[in-house]
Amino acid sequence: MTKSKARITAIGSYVPEKRLTNYDLEKMVETNDEWIVQRTGIKERRITRKDEFTSDISYKAVRNLMERYDKTVDDVDLIIVCTLTPDYKTPSVSSMLQAKLGIKNTGAMDLNVACAGFTYGLYVANGLITSGLNKKVLVVGAETLSKITDYTDRTTCILFGDGAGAVLVEYDEQNPSFISTHLGSEGEGGKHLYSTNLSNSMNGEDIIGNGCIVQNGREVYKWAVKTVPKGMQSVMGNVNMELEEVDWFVPHSANLRMIESICEKSSFPIEQTLYSLVDYGNTSSATIPLSLDMAVREGKIKNGQKLLLYGFGGGLAHAGLLITWTV
């Protein structure tokens, strides 16, 4: 890839106050804490209030970034919000966020690549800054999945939660963050993970049209465990580096058993893998920034370390990025 001129300079996050524990779910559907932990690794998730939406939690994540790193966003020239749960079909979450932040001169766009959203957002931000089109881009991964979760479906309601993470990406030719990328999509598998909108059929087959998330967990699991390790090798192979040179692997926090299988298949140590699902569940495009920020707060990630981020899910789309941590 073209030598990057973009640097990640700050990170922030926000999760709603309300907790939904496995014990709470025991009262709602036929399940139990031991079963959920054994199959997913998830202990609890955060849930937005009825009047709290994706633009609200995006704003709080950006405010957190600004306060912790003493950053201003007045000169941000593009906002990218990665989400599959926008407040409205239009206006976009990014436009709502622009208004909440009071930024006068910025572009705004939403990016829907579901669970791969945040890695795609970083890919786009790096490309725009490296090309010279933009100088300072805000990338947010935010979801209110609880609003499209069917709490009578015991196979999906145990998985999903709400949360938001944000990073600032700025022009820096001397100290760029981005090293290598790899993108892919297998749309023919889209029927295995979807939420309906205008159409109630896909590739000639009828699908359930209630607007909630529908997932064939077995098929998504098989696809991810086959696809992600190959993608990881592609990211590293692009720059003739080995996985052993990666300090931290940060996959989409879908399911701990899935992450363990990906690590096993790619021979990457689980001890050097960051995930946010234990406390927050699967927050789709927010899982990777939440994982990163948790590790930053815990002092795990050090400047100069190499991180391999890999988003995968609905689409079925996926994206991997090798970065140097430069915050």
- Residue 212 among the catalytic residues: no
Helical axes 256-266 vs 217-237, angle rounded to 10°? 40
- Whether residue 13 contacts residue 293, with contact meaning beta carbons closer than 8 Å, is answered with yes
CB 12 within 8 A of CB 293: yes
| d(C-alpha 295, C-alpha 139), whole Å | 19
Say which of 82, 115, 212, 263 is annotated catalytic. 115
State how far the Cα of 235 lies from the Cα of 231, in Å rounded to an integer: 6
Sign, Cα dihedral of 150, 166, 180, 327: negative
Catalytic residue among 22, 192, 282, 318: 282
Please indicate whether residue 318 is annotated as part of the active site.
no
Alpha carbon distance 252, 241 (integer Å)? 22
| Residue 129: partners with Cβ closer than 8 Å, 6 or more residues away | 5, 6, 135, 137, 169, 170, 171
Residue 192 is a catalytic residue: no
Catalytic residue among 64, 82, 212, 252: 252
**Residues recognised as catalytic:** 115, 252, 282
